[in-house]
Structure 1
């Protein structure tokens, strides 16, 4: 029987896991291309605006944005009892920021972090519990910061124009009530969901109690949660100062806090869309010119979403390729 020459022998098929990993390496770059094709006009307009801005304030905005990734890494560490390696943890949060811009409701960032925690040997139930604790602490800390602003600047911050009217308040309350009723109905109708949910809640409560007996974890979790919205507000304030916005840091930061608290629950990729419109509306309520308020928010999005997007996607692909994720 004749044998095929070595060079003519068919190559062995690649394992399915290797093919899937190669696809995941390329997926972030493909998603960036799709997003760029859809939203290129915003990127172009924002970059053109920033080209004439004060570079010193833009540098400050970029510094605050970088510190935001450090805060995210601190919060992720504070939400798990195990010690995580600082370098890979920070890299995973930088990559998670890129994934978060492509999927709504922080799904992308949570998926990246969940994979990172599992690869560090943390069981799925406990990794999921850490994500739940992280997601719970963020709005609580943001609300606390917002209340501190209201107490610290009662005269400066004119909130009367920002309070929603009765119709809007009724819609918000009705939406929350409907969401809670839907969850309750789902658990009542689908009985197999009850036991996994009880186990997840029990695991989350156990880990939360354990973490809050360790001062280092409490400081990382709650300190990062308090600092994160202040840093984001500082990014917007720095961009506004670079463009000539006359509002103070306290007014711009409060505008961001109030807007994100009001519409931050709307599931949009990275909060883009609803939060942006709300921030522009709030800045205008503080007597900022409409065109300047819009330019400030667009510049903020360019610095926080567009500029880190390609480097973040490359880091994400590298982490997948090196099996960190």
Structure 2
């Protein structure tokens, strides 16, 4: 008889188990937070608020969110090293919405774009670099739009006063030193560093390609502006649908901050995105039932409504050999 009591668990199985535990823990935390927020808002009040939704503003939210879809298409075409057809690129962005449902932090959409570019003849590293360049440009545009609002509102100064600069510097240096040691001293770290270097080099190449041509640079800027401003306009319409109103600048800060929900290890940020968005709207002065209703409507418009269409686009692209 073979004694398997002390047999080591295969590394792949250990990774799957660890990832599963992390996701289960994240789901539990999100569910608890969502239930707590719903209880605070009041189920009866929440139902009454949904009953008062203005259909015209709901339709406006749905219509406006077609703008970010166009922005994503423009941004990817701007950084891609090959010419991309409009129809297939649009279908790939819709398919990415379905991919985001099954993977956290927008990884599903990014992987879909990488695969799409690879099937168009771009090397895997080059495809990853192009997608990375598109994501980096999106972050840069969002920060550029949100930073003036933070400065004007005084929130940036207030946040800086909460923690002293020396403490922040020490913490950052310690974290960087620990990360550098882990990357240099472990085989996994060295392999990961090599992959990151190759993708980073491809990302810089994609950036240079986009910036070297004024048309491409303008396309990338326009695409990312459409994504951020269109998402903010959809949120403004969702808030207005329940009789509330807030300044476009405040809602732009909310959209920028709600991107943090993407880091939760929950597919699509399900639950966590709604809670974070509702909490931010409550901080702006909306009543909890109105804030949660607006957050749910915004998520339905910007994410959940695109999942069925994304699944159809994903299936069609796979059958046609484009993914």
TM-score range, shorter chain: 0.7 to 0.9
Counterpart in 2 of 1:185? Answer: 182
1:81 pairs with 2:66: no
What residue ranges of structure 2 are gaps of 5+ in the alignment?
1-26
Q: 1:79: how far off?
A: 1.5
Q: Which structure is higher in helix share?
A: 2
| Alpha-carbon displacement from aligned partner over 1:275-323 (angstroms, at most 9, x marks no partner) | 4333222222221111100110011111222222112111111111111
Retained in 2: the 8 A contact 1:158–1:286?
Answer: no
Counterpart in 2 of 1:23? Answer: none
Which segment is superposed worse, 188-197 or 136-145? 188-197
Structure 1 CA distance, aligned partners of 2:261 and 2:178? Answer: 20
Counterpart in 2 of 1:32? Answer: none
Counterpart in 1 of 2:305? Answer: 307
Indicate how the Cα distance of structure 1 residues 115 and 49 shifts in structure 2: closer, same or farther if over 3 A, else same: farther
Retained in 1: the 8 A contact 2:106–2:268?
Answer: yes
SS of corresponding position for 1:122: coil
Aligned positions of 1:90-101 closer than 5 A: 90-101=90-101
SS of corresponding position for 2:244: coil
Q: 1:217: how far off?
A: 1.3
TM (norm. structure 2) is: 0.74
**How many equivalent residue pairs?**
281
Counterpart in 2 of 1:203? Answer: 202
Counterpart in 1 of 2:238? Answer: 239
Counterpart in 2 of 1:297? Answer: 295
Q: 1:50: how far off?
A: 5.3
Structure 2 CA distance, aligned partners of 1:160 and 1:210? Answer: 34
Q: 1:241: how far off?
A: 0.6
Counterpart in 2 of 1:322? Answer: 320
Q: 1:132: how far off?
A: 1.5
| Alpha-carbon displacement from aligned partner over 1:184-242 (angstroms, at most 9, x marks no partner) | 52344224455444333333323321221111211122222233122111111101111
Counterpart in 1 of 2:155? Answer: 159
Q: 1:148: how far off?
A: 3.0
What residue ranges of structure 1 are gaps of 5+ in the alignment?
1-34
Retained in 2: the 8 A contact 1:143–1:261?
Answer: no
Aligned positions of 1:132-147 closer than 5 A: 132-147=132-147
Q: 1:73: how far off?
A: 0.9
Structure 2 CA distance, aligned partners of 1:98 and 1:162? Answer: 39
Aligned positions of 1:1-325 closer than 5 A: 52-150=52-150, 154=152, 157=153, 159=155, 163=159, 166=162, 178=175, 181-182=178-179, 185-190=182-187, 191-257=190-256, 259-260=257-258, 264-325=262-323
Q: 1:116: how far off?
A: 0.8
